[in-house]
Amino acid sequence: MLKIKNLKADIENKSILKNFNLEIKPGEVHAIMGPNGSGKSTLSNILSGKKGYDVSGEVLFENKSLFDLETEERAHKGIFLAFQYPLEIPGVNTNIFLKTSLNAIRKARGEKELDAIEFLKLVKLKAQNLKFDEEKLNRQLNVGFSGGEKKKNEILQMSILNPKLSILDETDSGLDIDALKIVADGVNSLRKKDNSFLIITHYQRLLDYIKPDYVHVLMEGKIIKSGGPELALELEKKGYENFN
Amino acid sequence: MREKEIAKLKDYKYGFATDIESIKAPKGLNKEIIKFISEAKKEPKWMLDWRMKAYERLKNLKEPNWQKPKYPKIDYQDIYYYSAPKSVSEKPKNLDELDPKLLETYKKLGIPLQEQQRLNGIAVDAVFDSVSVATTFKDKLNDVGVIFCSISEAIQKHPGLVKKYIGSVIPLTDHYFATLNSAVFTDGSFVYIPPGVKCPMELSTYFRINASQTGQFERTLIIADKGSYVSYLEGCTAPMRDENQLHAANVELVALDDAEIKYSTVQNWYPGDKDGKGGIYNFVTKRGLCKGVNSKISWTQVETGSAITWKYPSCVLKGDNSSGEFYSIAITNNHQKADTGTKMIHLGKNTKSKIISKGISAGFSDMTYRGLVDISLKAKNSRNYTQCDSLLMGNKCGAHTVPYIKNKNSESNIAHEATTSKISEDQLHYCQQRGLNPEEAVGLIVNGFCKEVLQQLPMEFAVEAQKLVGISLEGSVG
């Protein structure tokens, strides 16, 4: 599904990712762990299509180069990024934003757009599953939401859009234990043989609830070690400093 | 594919001209022309005298020049002051007699005048260059005593009302353009709502400039008698031309005791091309007088068109407990310029005013919010709340906020908030990650920014206005 070969990324002449390699197959869950400044967010930015980076190497999604696709085209193809810092858009109702987003993607895929009633039915169901306060859906997008609510809103969007590849960028940071469980449930309910996940995190904690197939340790722009879930535990014990 | 669609949208879709034979007065501004206009409209002598008085006064006035957008000198002798389709030299009694070319024009503009296609619940007065060519639903309105007709017709049929109120809010000596309008005004709408009547439908006037080298001098007068209510909307479009054309309107509103007037504008005059060639000079004086106690006047404007927009729809809060509101969205793109805002003049006790202004500038455009809140000594216990938000797109445009505040008594309260922001790259990225293309993303963010004002529009027009907001900014990203 996703193949990254020799990816290099610079921003303002500073090298962030160096020779980064990763392959994710359909249905797999990969976790990337690393300390601050190791290049985790750069990776999610580049995969989602954020501008401002000088990149080289190859990133293929379903055998097509992502570098040939605009951000929204990547979204249409089924790439979703749960943002580390979800953006506020004043004056835009959350429901309207979700509906606009879903229908933009459906339209691009040649699927029928949902009308208001069909959409509300869908969103209600998904919100209940995530214990997301429905009243919030009528508020301005992320405006006045707590950190946890913003993150839950990302997962709600993910479950509505049902993407092929979901990238969770430090979704666990700032979540209390209850919210963490809800987020994990949301992810687990989307785990299917065709849906893959890339979970970017500092801590092992989230991985107690979402069992990854692979764990990778990212340091200074490179994956220095890959393994199974046990690697996360080892990392938690030793700390990043002593790990190398 | 996407580029092609955008190119199509960017075209000003009202830019066509109707090929129609018209009667024009010769170019130039002089007594003969004013007599010509007055005679063409079969006006009584008092009206001609009034115009002449304005004309004499005009000789001693100079154009104001304190505004931010500057423009090349206008040669007032090189303008046609009167142009009317030949076929309506007598206003047709019904639509069957109206020139099919005119019917077709309004149909193309999305304002069908024919009985069977009329907009539901909205009465329309259609003004084409210097004359009103049709007014719909007149009979239905007549049943409840509402007068809705062209100002020309009102001068003949309701001289008492016109004489009493015309110039009572904007004196003919007010300032250069108001005085010019008083001398040469041609058509516009007249509305009278009798005491206690809630006007059963939206009233609207659709202004169309068609003839070239012609100025449009609109005059509108709305009177809401005691305890009445009316909601009125005007729309404006013009053909695409390389020349600049002048639209200098005077709009006067009078609200008596307990009356309410809601006045909305969706202004989409031709803005000029992307290099700033052509477009309308929209120099307009709009003022409402809350004459009676507990009266209320609310202005809502969506200003997306014109090469230069220069207007301050204002409220004079004379009656005790009266209130004035101003909700504005002004969008400038390419080389458009706008200097707009409001004046809230508090004269009565316990008067309230509220100003919500949203300015959006893109391209090479320049936008100024200019507003006055003036609370007089006698206007005890009065309040004003002002919120001015500016949104910038790109780094070649400008936004300026110039609030004038005068509070002459200590028992009143004025609050002013202002923000300037840019659409952030991160917001755009977020929307794009959710599948929206950059144009859709900007449309969504800008509509969110304008929401408080869009909500004020009558429902029938809010959707249109929302689309217009998006379209006006096409091509401003990427």
> Which positions in chain A touch B430 (Cβ < 8 Å)?
83, 86-87, 89
Look at the alpha carbons of B372, B71, B335, B240 in this order and tell me if their dihedral is positive or negative: positive
Residues A106, A107, A112, A115, Cα dihedral to 10°? 80
The pLDDT, as a whole number, for residue B4 is 44
Q: Are B428 and B468 in contact (CB under 8 A)?
A: no
SS3 at position A176:
coil
> Which positions in chain A touch B438 (Cβ < 8 Å)?
72
Q: Is A49 on the interface with B (CB under 8 A)?
A: yes
For A108, the closest chain B residue by CA position comes to: B435
Cross-chain residue pair B435–A70, CB shorter than 8 Å: no
Residue-wise over B257-268: b if at least 16 C-beta within 10 A, else e? bbbbbbbbbbbb
Beta bridge partners of A216: A32, A226
In order of A46, A79, B30, B120, B458, the CA distances from A69 in angstroms are 12, 11, 64, 46, 41
> Which positions in chain A touch B432 (Cβ < 8 Å)?
49, 70-72, 75
Cβ count within 10 A of residue B346? 33
CA of A84 vs chain B CAs: smallest distance (Å): 11
What SS3 string covers B151-169? HHHHHHHCHHHHHHHCCCC
Q: Which of B431, B466, B467 is the best residue to mutate to test the A interface, defined by the most A CB atoms within 10 Å of its own CB?
A: B431
Cross-chain residue pair B435–A91, CB shorter than 8 Å: no
Instruction: Name which of B427, B437, B451 is nearest A87 (Cβ-Cβ).
Output: B427
Q: Do β-strands A54-61 and A64-65 pair in parallel, antiparallel, or remain unpaired? A: antiparallel
> Which positions in chain B touch A76 (Cβ < 8 Å)?
435
Q: Is A110 on the interface with B (CB under 8 A)?
A: no
CA of B441 vs chain A CAs: smallest distance (Å): 10
> d(Cα B229, Cα B227) in Å, to the nearest integer?
7
Residues of B with CB under 8 A from a CB of A: 424-427, 429-438, 440, 444-445, 447-452
Beta carbon pairs, A and B, within 8 Å: 78
- Residue A85, judged by CB atoms within 10 A of its CB (0-12, 13-18, 19+), counts as middle
Q: Is A120 on the interface with B (CB under 8 A)?
A: no
Residue-wise over B297-323: b if at least 16 C-beta within 10 A, else e? bbbbbbbbbbbbbbbbbbbbbbbbbbb
Q: Are B216 and B246 in contact (CB under 8 A)?
A: yes
CA of B17 vs chain A CAs: smallest distance (Å): 36
> Which positions in chain B touch A161 (Cβ < 8 Å)?
434-435
Query: Could you tell me how far CA B323 lies from the centroid of its own chain?
Result: 20
Residue A78, Ramachandran bin (φ over 0: left; ψ between -120 and 50: alpha; else beta) = left
Residues B182, B183, B187, B193, Cα dihedral to 10°? 30
Residues B208, B213, B214, B216, Cα dihedral to 10°? 60
Which pTM does this prediction carry?
0.86
Give percent of chain A with pLDDT exceeding 90. Answer: 79
The pLDDT, as a whole number, for residue B384 is 97
Token look-up 């009103």 returns: B132
- Residue B441, judged by CB atoms within 10 A of its CB (0-12, 13-18, 19+), counts as buried
Tens digits of residue pLDDT in A101-140: 999 999 999 999 999 999 999 999 999 988 888 899 999 9
> Which positions in chain B touch A86 (Cβ < 8 Å)?
430
Q: Torsions phi, psi of B93, nearest 5?
A: -75, -35
Scanning A130-229, the segments in alpha helix (DSSP H) are: 147-161, 177-190
Q: Is A186 on the interface with B (CB under 8 A)?
A: no
Which of B449-453's residues contact partners 24+ apart within 8 Å by CB, and which partners? B449/A90, B449/A91, B449/B358, B449/B360, B449/B389, B449/B391, B450/A91, B450/B329, B450/B358, B450/B360, B451/A91, B451/A92, B452/A91, B452/B327, B452/B356, B452/B358, B453/B300, B453/B302, B453/B327, B453/B328, B453/B329, B453/B356, B453/B358
CA of B400 vs chain A CAs: smallest distance (Å): 22
Residues whose CB falls within 8 Å of the CB of residue B446, separated by 6 or more in sequence, listed in order: B360, B391, B423, B469, B470, B473
SS3 at position A241:
helix
Residue-wise over B193-208: b if at least 16 C-beta within 10 A, else e? bbeebebebbbbbbbb
> d(Cα B222, Cα B202) in Å, to the nearest integer?
13
> Which positions in chain A touch B426 (Cβ < 8 Å)?
87
Average pLDDT for A158-183: 92
> Which positions in chain A touch B427 (Cβ < 8 Å)?
87, 89
Tokens of A157: 């969007």
Tokens of B444: 């969504």
Residues whose CB falls within 8 Å of the CB of residue B84, separated by 6 or more in sequence, listed in order: B22, B23, B24, B40, B128, B129, B130, B131
> Which positions in chain B touch A75 (Cβ < 8 Å)?
432-435
> Which positions in chain B touch A100 (Cβ < 8 Å)?
434, 436, 440, 444
Instruction: Name which of B427, B435, B449 is nearest A75 (Cβ-Cβ).
Output: B435
- Residue B456, judged by CB atoms within 10 A of its CB (0-12, 13-18, 19+), counts as buried
For A87, the closest chain B residue by CA position comes to: B427
Q: Is A48 on the interface with B (CB under 8 A)?
A: yes
Q: Is A101 on the interface with B (CB under 8 A)?
A: yes
Q: Are B245 and B283 in contact (CB under 8 A)?
A: no
> d(Cα B301, Cα B313) in Å, to the nearest integer?
9
Q: What are the strands of the beta sheet with A14-24, ordered from one edge?
A: A14-24, A2-11, A54-61, A64-65
Cross-chain residue pair A108–B435, CB shorter than 8 Å: yes
The pLDDT, as a whole number, for residue B6 is 40
Q: Which of A92, A99, A105, A141 is the best residue to mutate to test the B interface, defined by the most B CB atoms within 10 Å of its own CB?
A: A92
Q: Which fold has domain A2-93+163-243?
A: Rossmann fold (3.40.50)
Direct distance between the N- and C-terminal alpha carbons of chain B, in angstroms, rounded to an integer: 15
Instruction: Name which of A71, A80, A102 is nearest B432 (Cβ-Cβ).
Output: A71
The pLDDT, as a whole number, for residue B140 is 85
Cross-chain residue pair A86–B430, CB shorter than 8 Å: yes
Q: Do β-strands A222-227 and B366-375 pair in parallel, antiparallel, or remain unpaired? A: unpaired
CA of B435 vs chain A CAs: smallest distance (Å): 4
Average pLDDT for A38-60: 94
> Which positions in chain B touch A150 (Cβ < 8 Å)?
none
CA of B442 vs chain A CAs: smallest distance (Å): 11
Average pLDDT for A67-86: 96
Cross-chain residue pair B434–A108, CB shorter than 8 Å: no
> d(Cα B304, Cα B18) in Å, to the nearest integer?
23
Scanning chain A, the segments in alpha helix (DSSP H) are: 40-48, 71-77, 94-108, 116-129, 147-161, 177-190, 230-243
Tens digits of residue pLDDT in B221-242: 999 999 999 999 988 777 777 7
Beta bridge partners of A60: A3, A65
The pLDDT, as a whole number, for residue B210 is 80
Q: What stretch of H or E contains A65?
A: strand A64-65
Q: Are B264 and B232 in contact (CB under 8 A)?
A: yes
Q: Which of B430, B447, B451, B453 is the best residue to mutate to test the A interface, defined by the most A CB atoms within 10 Å of its own CB?
A: B430
Beta bridge partners of B123: B203
> d(Cα A31, Cα A79) in Å, to the nearest integer?
16
Residues whose CB falls within 8 Å of the CB of residue B112, separated by 6 or more in sequence, listed in order: B106, B118, B119
Q: What is the pLDDT along chain B (478 residues), one digit of tens a residue?
A: 344 444 444 567 787 778 878 888 888 999 999 999 999 899 999 999 999 999 999 999 999 999 999 999 999 999 999 888 877 766 666 777 778 777 787 777 777 777 656 666 778 888 888 777 777 888 889 899 999 999 999 999 999 999 999 999 999 999 999 999 999 999 889 999 999 999 998 898 888 878 788 888 999 999 999 999 999 998 877 777 778 889 999 999 999 999 999 999 988 888 888 888 889 999 999 999 999 999 999 999 999 988 999 999 999 999 999 999 999 999 999 999 999 999 999 999 999 999 999 999 999 999 999 999 999 999 999 999 999 999 998 889 999 999 999 999 999 999 999 998 888 889 999 999 999 999 899 989 998 999 889 888 887 778 778 888 877 777 676 5
Q: Is A100 on the interface with B (CB under 8 A)?
A: yes
Residue type, A199: I
Beta bridge partners of B132: B127
Cross-chain residue pair A91–B434, CB shorter than 8 Å: no
For A106, the closest chain B residue by CA position comes to: B435
Cross-chain residue pair A70–B437, CB shorter than 8 Å: yes
Of A141, A52, A108, A113, residue with least CA distance to B445: A141
The pLDDT, as a whole number, for residue B92 is 66
Q: Please, what is the Cα angle at B455 between B451 and B457, to 5 degrees?
A: 125
Cross-chain residue pair B448–A92, CB shorter than 8 Å: yes
Cross-chain residue pair B434–A75, CB shorter than 8 Å: yes
Cβ count within 10 A of residue A44? 21
> d(Cα B286, Cα A190) in Å, to the nearest integer?
58
Q: Do β-strands B22-24 and B147-150 pair in parallel, antiparallel, or remain unpaired? A: unpaired
